[in-house]
Amino acid sequence: MSNTRQEQGELIAKATGAIKRINEITYSVISQSGSGNYEVHSTQLGWVCSCPDHKFRGVQCKHIHAVIVSFALRKEVEIRRIEPILNIQNCIYCKSIKIVKDGLRYNKRGDIQKFNCKDCSKYFTINIGFEKMKHNPQGITTAMQLYFSGESLRNTARSLKLIGMDITHQTVYNWIDKYTGLMNKCF
Ligand SMILES: [Zn+2]
Ligand SMILES: [Zn+2]
């Protein structure tokens, strides 16, 4: 494989269910060969992995890289509480900040804020007032928190269904993808 360990680690970190958080300092990472898991945990001397690559070569293996990436992502989520989506400041299509409010609609599904982007001239709406909405900011935040605390996409979607959000694991995946894309620019 020509990818570096770091690149492989990033791929693992983004793969569905590849990393399970056991606790604050211990993670279980699925073996890429498909046979079991390796345990990565934090020590005073840094991250340690149970795989042969780390054990015998003493290198930062792809599992450690994967945990570091996933750890950083989760910290970001904890710190920023998904503010880029909550306090909408960018066009959802072109990310331009030149957006203006374009009226508020009230209907039985809640208050819908309409926005117009001055750069790409597209319109988009954000629901700001009904908890059982499909794509409301609180729901997205909840999804992120569940996912980055180690839940699988399917479990995350299932939990959200329990609080009244009828979404699929594919939707959760799209949010994660979008949000990690936003965050990667900040690294
Ligand atoms: Zn390893
Ligand atoms: Zn735009």
Q: How far is the CA of 10 from the centre of ligand 1 (A)?
A: 13
Q: How far is the CA of 154 from the centre of ligand 2 (A)?
A: 31
Over the stretch 130-187, which tens digit does the pLDDT of each residue have?
333 455 666 777 777 778 777 788 888 887 777 667 788 888 888 777 766 655 554 4
**In whole angstroms, how far apart are CA 68 and each of 6, 72, 140?**
10, 6, 23
The bound ligand whose nearest atom lies closest to the alpha carbon of 60 is 1
Q: How far is the CA of 22 from the centre of ligand 2 (A)?
A: 41
How big, in percent rounded to 5, are the helix, strand and coil portions of the chain? 40, 25, 35
Q: How far is the CA of 68 from the centre of ligand 1 (A)?
A: 12
Q: Taking the model in full, what pTM does it have? A: 0.45
Q: How far is the CA of 179 from the centre of ligand 2 (A)?
A: 17
Question: With 60 as the cut, is the pLDDT of residue 85 above it?
Answer: no
Over the stretch 9-20, which tens digit does the pLDDT of each residue have?
988 887 777 888
The bound ligand whose nearest atom lies closest to the alpha carbon of 64 is 1
* pLDDT for the residue 107: 63
Out of 42-46, 96-100, 106-110, 133-137, pick the least confident.
Answer: 133-137
* pLDDT for the residue 87: 46
Q: Which of 35, 64, 36 is nearest to 48 (CA)?
A: 64
Over the stretch 103-129, which tens digit does the pLDDT of each residue have?
777 666 556 778 889 999 998 877 654
